[in-house]
Amino acid sequence: MGLLSKKDAKLITDPLADNNPITIQVLGICSALAITAQLKASIVMSLSVLFVMGVGNVVISLIRNIIPSKIRIIVQLTVVAALVIIVDQVLKAYAYSLSKELSVFIGLIITNCIIMGRFEAFALANGPWRSFLDGIGNALGYAVILVIVGFFRELLGSGTLLGIKVLGDPIEKTGLYALGYENNGFMLLSPMALIVVGIIIWVQRSRNKDLIED
């Protein structure tokens, strides 16, 4: 990372592990539970959030000195909503099939608390470049957890990864299924996502005791 100073690089690397938005800051849990039944959906959501976080943090940071503090949350919400709607419209016009794929995520991005959380906690107090890095860093931290959860939920719940049957065919009884293995339908339901996130938090905190609060 010769391009970035040490302090700036930390903005990207911290959220990936020791200051992860999902497991440490506990932001963005709702979408992590809702859309991780498949790996593909997790990846698409991660990329969408990456884009909105990067751009949104810069916009908020640029106007941070003129935002009236009393209505700052509303201003932030308006910026996210406007950004997301414009992107949605442009995709509908020029990349229609992609926009069909993203349809349901559009609404989920606006309500994603990571975005509002980082606007409020970081972009309002820092310059555009650092805010951009913070946005990208947190979106990547979010993506890491989403992909891990999506990976296990799809693998154990459906026996597939990105729609490819990696464990054999459950109906034809080939591969692992020939040995009597069964998919765990529970994994497809949101409560199991919470348990998977919980396990990640547990593993992370037992490896780094500094993260444990009293």
Please, what is the end-to-end C-alpha distance for the chain in angstroms?
Answer: 35
Q: Closest Cα to residue 155, out of 14, 38, 47, 44?
A: 38
- Please, which residue, 24 or 147, has the CB nearer to another protein? 147
180 belongs to the binding site for another protein (CB under 8 A): no
Residues of this chain, 135-174, that bind another protein according to CB under 8 A: 153-154, 163, 171
- Please, which residue, 11 or 29, has the CB nearer to another protein? 29
Contact with another protein (CB under 8 A): which of 96, 125, 191, 203?
96
Q: Tell me which stretch binds another protein (CB under 8 A): 7-15, 50-58, 61-69, 130-138.
A: 61-69
Residues of this chain, 30-49, that bind another protein according to CB under 8 A: 34-38, 41, 45
- Please, which residue, 1 or 81, has the CB nearer to another protein? 81
Max Cα–Cα distance, the chain, nearest Å: 65
Contact with another protein (CB under 8 A): which of 69, 179, 207, 212?
69
Report CA-CA distances (Å) from 14 to 125, 145, 166.
Answer: 18, 14, 33
Contact with another protein (CB under 8 A): which of 5, 30, 98, 107?
107
Cβ atoms within 10 Å, residue 80? 22
65 belongs to the binding site for another protein (CB under 8 A): yes
Give one word for 112, left, alpha or beta, with left for phi > 0 and alpha for psi -120 to 50. Answer: beta
179 belongs to the binding site for another protein (CB under 8 A): no
Q: Which residues contact residue 67 at a Cβ distance below 8 angstroms, ignoring those fewer than 6 apart?
A: 60, 75, 124
Report CA-CA distances (Å) from 156 to 32, 36, 139, 169.
Answer: 17, 12, 26, 13
Give one word for 179, left, alpha or beta, with left for phi > 0 and alpha for psi -120 to 50. Answer: alpha
Contact with another protein (CB under 8 A): which of 1, 30, 62, 85?
85
**Interacting residue ranges for another protein, rule: CB under 8 A:** 34-38, 41, 45, 65-71, 74-75, 78, 82, 85-86, 89-90, 92-94, 96, 103-105, 107, 153-154, 163, 171, 185, 188-189
